[in-house]
């Protein structure tokens, strides 16, 4: 499937049973809610998907099950977050075999690669696969920045097509557009900068709180795209306290609590993560409760 790099692409959470197995039943409940809301793609095995705790076989199961469930309605991307170039190339091969439409790729894990090493890492994987690639640029959390000069080299690979822009510097959207035009699609990866980034020209949004609030997330995207900016802003202002749950070390636990509140998830996380307790839990629940109490009535946002 050719990927149209625009719209809302949920970085979905991985659902676990009480006995720490994949909960595919609840996972599909959430997938259905995303599709019903009108999302434009699904991203598996990212930070929110607890990628670092998943086995290779679990990633493959999630990919196959999602591809089958989605049934061509939207593209399915699997995240690659590997320590070695060899491991990343193998992950790309498995993604192809399992029916993924594309890859989201982080720089090498654990080792803080230099610029040349990072470029060669991405190029080696890109040259090993026909799948389209979105580079995940998140130097805040992963300590390696893919600079514009590095993208100059990377774009020699035709299948490096997009960037998940998570530098937290909103002016980077304009820098990328000025430098590369439409050659490099931009999907904002920071929930609390999403609307701002879209208004500055980002093509889409790899979203987090969408996992619990899919309709509201897609409505913001569709309204701003249709030029109904004030309506998008009003929903976004309501949404912001919830979106801030995403820019937190406990984002997985936070968002899973929100999924429970909206009936499309469970709270189970995989150790070493633990469910929230005490004052931390009470704070998150209060934010969610306030959001639900004031949840806006959405306009007919589909097919605007």
CA–CA gap between residue 123 and residue 136 (Å, rounded): 14
Give burial (CB, 10 Å; 0-12/13-18/19+) of 115.
Answer: middle
Whose structure tokens read 């061509």? 72
Rounded average pLDDT over 99-120: 95
**Taking the domains of the chain in order of start, what are their residue ranges?**
7-293
Evaluated on CA atoms 279, 284, 285, 287, the torsion sign reads positive
Rounded average pLDDT over 254-280: 98
CA–CA gap between residue 128 and residue 86 (Å, rounded): 10
Rounded average pLDDT over 219-242: 98
Residue 1 has pLDDT above 80, yes or no: no
CA–CA gap between residue 230 and residue 61 (Å, rounded): 42
Rounded average pLDDT over 34-56: 96
pLDDT at 130: 97
Domain 7-293 matching CATH 2.10.77.10: the answer reads no
Q: Which residues contact 76 (CB under 8 A, 6 or more apart)?
A: 41, 42, 44, 63, 66, 67, 70, 99, 100, 101, 102
2-24 per-position pLDDT tens digit: 899 999 999 999 999 999 999 99
CA–CA gap between residue 11 and residue 24 (Å, rounded): 16
pTM for the structure as a whole: 0.97
Read off the tokens for 2: 């050719």
Task: Give CA separation, 75 vs 29, 102, 126, 199, in Å.
Answer: 18, 7, 18, 24
Read off the tokens for 25: 């039943």
Confidence category of residue 260, pLDDT binned at 50, 70, 90: very high
Rounded average pLDDT over 234-243: 98
Instruction: Work out the mean pLDDT of the chain and round it to a whole number.
Output: 97
pLDDT at 141: 86
pLDDT at 110: 85
CA–CA gap between residue 5 and residue 70 (Å, rounded): 17
Residue 111 has pLDDT above 90, yes or no: no
What are the b/e assignments for 212-226, b being 16+ CB within 10 Å? bbbbbbbbbbbbbbe
Answer with the residue of higher pLDDT: 110 or 200: 200
Q: Are 39 and 9 in contact (CB under 8 A)?
A: yes
pLDDT at 24: 98
Rounded average pLDDT over 174-190: 98
CA–CA gap between residue 51 and residue 273 (Å, rounded): 12
CA–CA gap between residue 27 and residue 246 (Å, rounded): 19
Rounded average pLDDT over 215-231: 98
């Amino acid at each position: 499937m050719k990927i149209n790099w625009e719209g809302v692409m949920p970085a979905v959470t991985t659902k676990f049973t009480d006995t720490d197995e994949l909960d595919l039943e609840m996972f599909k409940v959430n997938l259905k809610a995303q599709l019903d809301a009108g999302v434009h793609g699904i991203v598996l095995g990212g930070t929110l998907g607890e990628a670092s705790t998943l086995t290779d076989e679990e990633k493959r199961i999630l990919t196959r099950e999602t591809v089958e469930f989605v049934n061509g309605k939207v593209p399915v991307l699997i995240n690659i977050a590997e320590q070695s170039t060899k491991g990343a190339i193998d992950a790309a091969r498995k993604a192809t075999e399992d029916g993924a439409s594309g890859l989201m790729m982080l720089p090498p894990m654990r080792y803080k690669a230099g610029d040349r090493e990072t470029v060669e890492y991405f190029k080696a994987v890109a040259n090993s696969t026909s799948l389209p690639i979105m580079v995940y640029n998140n130097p805040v959390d992963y300590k390696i920045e893919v600079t514009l000069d590095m993208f100059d080299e990377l774009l020699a690979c035709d299948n490096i097509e997009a960037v998940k822009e998570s530098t937290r510097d909103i002016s980077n959207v304009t820098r990328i557009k000025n430098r590369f035009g439409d050659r490099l699609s931009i999907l904002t990866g920071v929930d609390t900068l999403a609307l701002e980034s879209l208004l500055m020209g980002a093509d889409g949004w790899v979203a987090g709180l969408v996992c619990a609030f899919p309709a509201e997330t897609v409505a913001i995207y569709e309204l701003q795209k249709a030029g109904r900016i004030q309506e998008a802003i009003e929903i976004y202002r309501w949404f912001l306290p919830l979106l801030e749950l995403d820019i937190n070390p406990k984002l997985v636990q936070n968002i899973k609590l929100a999924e429970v509140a909206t009936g499309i998830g469970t709270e189970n996380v995989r150790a070493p993560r633990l469910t929230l307790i005490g004052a931390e839990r009470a704070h998150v629940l209060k934010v969610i409760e306030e959001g639900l109490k004031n949840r806006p009535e959405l306009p007919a946002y589909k097919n605007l």
